[in-house]
Amino acid sequence: MSVQGTAAAPALLWAPAAWVGGRWQAGVLLRAGADGLWAEVRAGVAAPPGAEVLPGPVLPSLVNAHSHAFQRAFVGLAERRDSAHDDFWSWRDRMYGVALRITPAQLRALAAQLYAELLDGGYTQVCEFHYLQHAPDGSRYADPAAMLQALADAAAEVGIGLTLLPVLYERAGFTQPALRDDQRRFATSADEVLALQRAAAGMGALVTAGVAVHSLRAARPASIVALAERSSGPLHVHVAEQTAEVDDCLAATGCRPIDWLARHAPLDARWQLVHATHSVPGEIAAVARAGAGVVLCPGTEANLGDGLADLPGWLAAGVPLSVGSDSQVLRAWPEELRWLEYGQRLALRQRNVAADPGHEPATAARLFERVRAGGAAAAGLPRWGLEPGARADLLLLDASCPGLAGLPASHLLDGLVFAAAARPFARVLVAGRWRWPDDAAVAARAGRAAAVMHQLWAQ
Ligand code: ZN
């Protein structure tokens, strides 16, 4: 399936089964209001006259809580080892090569392709952790928000919700006062981030805006605290992705990165800790007390050799969790949830690590529900899912597709995450509108993105 084009949905839908209140329920009526939010969600009812009867079960879509759209230009091009040593830092140097070349028009074309792929993969909201602000020589564009605008235009073209997070980026490392030359497009002060957030907030009906701190190594402590105090909305930060970052933070501050945030940020429910790969139990407890969320990016963390987050620890502590496509090597949430669980199985030599036998024995169901609930705060939205007041988004499952056919409703999520193709979604609804397949638009968009890839890689 490809999701392109739009059509007004009927005001009234009825599904034989839907994921409501954290479980499958039968006979669910869904009524979208003119404002694009769910006005009514009611389970255990027969299809009323006038309702469109959906041909399969429906799920809430998920928030993609961490994306760098420009890194779509790099997918599939970094899977060769050219020297004796290859890790996150050598990958980053190569990624910077793309970051230094891409223009707003090229970003728009690649982001449109990416966002269509994300809709296809079951996401209807994407959080852009956006640090690529300035012209290739580091000078400001005439419109300082030109690169943000390119992302907003791409999201509007395909009809996906967007949370724009302009990033504070000031220095190359804990002990380096300035940026490297190849980081010149990223340079921002707290004042600039706040101005970019104001510009982003007006970029569309499906656009929300927060802010981000690139990482503790890339921003000065006083700037981080000032940005937190002076901004509103979600506040994302890359943290503890690399053991080298943990070591550098300990050497510079005496604290591990998550511990530093808990002591100095101060953390609260606005904060979204991206990766949080390398933690100790005291840090998990501090994040849980603060109410902050954690954004896991299992596909990218595997691709970059980052390490494994303490998933059992984060789950047990009740910390809000979400997932992100980050470097875009995966662009469908069922694959992210599969890798989230499989990493733990491989490391711990156990099965069904994310399940909770006392409360939710189904691994995929527990992961899905935690990630559904955690996405709202990450995106800066008050509600998310099939409930009144949440945006009227849903995924219509193709329950006849390989991997799902014949499964009882109680096991559909397990089949979706562990047995099916990555994109078994027949249709996607965003803000009360169906996103319909349109082969001509799909081909045109893919052609524009491919042309940009040729331009970027021919140089
Ligand atoms: Zn990232």
Domain borders along the chain are 5-58+385-441, 62-379
Q: CA angle at residue 451 from 445 to 457, to 5 degrees?
A: 135
Please tell me the predicted confidence (pLDDT) of residue 241: 94
| 297 CA → ligand 1 middle, Å | 9
**Distance from the Cα of residue 434 to its chain's centroid:** 21
Query: Active-site positions?
Result: 275, 326
Taking the C-alpha atoms of residue 260 and residue 265, their distance in angstroms, rounded to an integer, is 8
Query: 83 CA distance to ligand 1 centroid (A)?
Result: 24
Q: From ligand 1's centre to the CA of 307, what distance in Å?
A: 15
Calculate how far, in angstroms, residue 196's C-alpha sits from the geometric centre of ligand 1: 19
Token duo for residue 419: 């047995």
CA of 238 to the centre of ligand 1 (A): 6
Q: Give the tokens for residue 91.
A: 């990958």
Q: For position 236, what pLDDT does the model report?
A: 98
For the record, the structure tokens of 272 come out as 């979204």
Helices marked H in 64-145 — which ranges?
Answer: 88-99, 104-120
Neighbours of 387 (CB within 10 A): 13
Q: What is the mean pLDDT of each run of 10 residues along the chain (459 residues)?
A: 57 95 97 96 97 96 98 87 78 81 96 97 98 95 98 97 98 94 94 98 97 97 97 98 96 98 95 98 98 98 95 98 97 97 98 94 96 98 98 94 89 93 88 87 96 87
H runs (alpha helix) in 202-329: 221-230, 243-253, 257-264, 281-290, 298-303, 311-317
Predicted pLDDT at 409: 86
Tell me the sheet residues that pair with 173: 176
Residue found by looking up tokens 């340079």 in the block: 187
For the domain spanning 62-379, the CATH number is: 3.20.20.140
pTM of the predicted protein model: 0.96
Residue 129 CA to ligand 1 center (angstroms) comes to 7
* Rounded distance from Cα 113 to ligand 1 centre (Å): 19
| 214 contacts 168 by C-beta, under 8 angstroms | yes
Instruction: Confirm whether 5-58+385-441 and 62-379 share one CATH topology.
Output: no
Please give the CATH architecture assigned to the domain spanning 5-58+385-441. Roll (2.30)
Q: If residue 13 lies in a helix (H) or strand (E), which one and from where to where? A: strand 12-20
Residue 6: per-residue pLDDT: 62
pLDDT at 173: 95
